[in-house]
Structure 1
Amino acid sequence: MLKPSYPLETARLLLRPFTMDDLDALYSFHSRPDVARFLYWDARTREETRAALKNKIGWAELREGGDALNIGAELRETGALVGDLTLFWRSAEHRQGEIGFVFHPDHHGRGLATEASREILRLGFEDLGLHRIYGRCDARNTPSARLMERLGMRREAHHVENEIFKGEWSDELVYAMLRREWNPTAQPPDA
């Protein structure tokens, strides 16, 4: 079980559970086609974002394998919600997790997603005791692949045309890291 002591603090961010007050900020990036391009959902309407947010609010802790932890990333300086992170507890028996991240494009290129994702990895390895955490992305999603590389995750697979994604065959990349490879003191380059 994992119930983080919120807010989780990084140098520039506060990571915290979502609230209904986040609707406008979440909608500001979940509604964008460029954000949803490589996600399993299309750009969301305000009502679709509200429904997704209601689910996220209920996922503030991990009780058992199969659960998901959803965390909002806000700028410490301004309080603006800029990111949406998920830690999926894929298997309790095999101590496996998966990381996911979506950040507002207005905040890309500043290393914020890397900073927040490092904290999610820390939660998974140190607080939940996971053995392996992986991340997946469409092979065309170069920014996500680079982020996982900056985190120190190794590319384990390139699945060629492994699924029909939004009407076309798509390749998928899989990155992963083991607990013994996790280095909490490593300072990744900004990007």
Structure 2
Amino acid sequence: MFQPTYPIRTRRLTLRPFTVDDLDDVYAYQSRPDVVRWMLGAEPRTREQSRVSVLAMAGEDALRAEGECLTVAVVRDGGVIGAVEVVWRSARDRTAEIGYVFHPAHGGRGLATEAVAAMVGWGFDEVGLHRVFGRCHARNEASARLMARVGMRREAHHVQSYLFDGEWADQLVFAVLASEWRARTARGRD
């Protein structure tokens, strides 16, 4: 089992497990069409759907087995502004997938980059991952830019590779290896 020593602190953020008390903050972004726009099959959530989501995320506090997800609340000034998840895709290949969602009111300040970088670093340093990757809809430019800022390289552009809102969509895949991450960190470019 891999579990962070909570809370994880960055320069401006605290990352910690979700609790039921986070419902109002989570509903504030999960109910927005502009937030769920790029999520596969997602619609803006009702308060009850967000409550179910928060309860599920509260149980995702560690990576216990391949296929499991660890989800942390990203907290700034006492409120949850988003979430970052690490999905353990392969124990043998030491690979995980990173995912994230943030309230747009907190965009443009590097907060998402800071939070995602903290979790990628945790995966390499504490879990011993070899590779972390992320995926996004090819038109989700903000997500692609975030992965590039974190230090991930674009590895693939899958043309019409999945159905999204009833239409074939392109998907971008970004990744970073532990060796690349460590070299980047050694150069001081977090």
Q: Are residue 106 (structure 1) and residue 108 (structure 2) matched? A: no
Matches within 5 A, 1:49-68: 49-68=50-69
Q: Look up the equivalent residue of 1:141 and give its one-letter code.
A: N
Distance 2:49 2:20 in 1: 13
CA RMSD for the aligned pairs? 0.9
Counterparts of 2:24 and 2:83, CA distance in 1: 13
Correspondence for 2:47: 46
Counterparts of 2:135 and 2:43 in 1: how far apart (Å)?
Answer: 18
**TM alignment of 1:41-190, pairs within 5 A:** 41-75=42-76, 78-182=77-181, 183-185=184-186, 186-187=188-189
The farther-off stretch of 12-21 and 42-51 is 42-51
Q: CA separation in 2, counterparts of 1:99 and 1:30?
A: 19
Distance in 2, matches of 1:51 and 1:184, equals 37
Matches of 1:86 and 1:170, distance apart in 2: 23
Contact 1:122–1:184, Cα closer than 8 Å, also in 2? no
Matching residue's letter, 1:5: T
Shift of 1:184: 3.0
Aligned counterpart, 2:20: 20
4+ residue segments displaced more than 2 Å: 183-188
* Structure 1 residues without counterparts, runs of 5 or longer: none
8 Å Cα contact 1:137/1:173 also seen in 2: yes
% same residue? 51
Query: What SS does the aligned partner of 1:184 have?
Result: helix
Instruction: Output the TM-score relative to the length of structure 2.
Output: 0.95
Letter in 1 for 2:141: T
Contact 1:137/1:145 (CA < 8 Å) preserved in 2? yes
Gaps of 5+ in 2: none
Deviation of 1:30 (Å): 0.6
The TM-score, its normalising length taken from structure 1, stands at: 0.95
- Classify the secondary structure of the residue corresponding to 1:146: helix
- Separation (CA, whole Å) in 2 of partners of 1:70 and 1:26: 13
**Distance in 2 separating the partners of 1:184 and 1:23:** 35
Q: CA deviation at 1:64?
A: 1.4
Query: In the comparison of the two structures, how many residue pairs are matched?
Result: 186
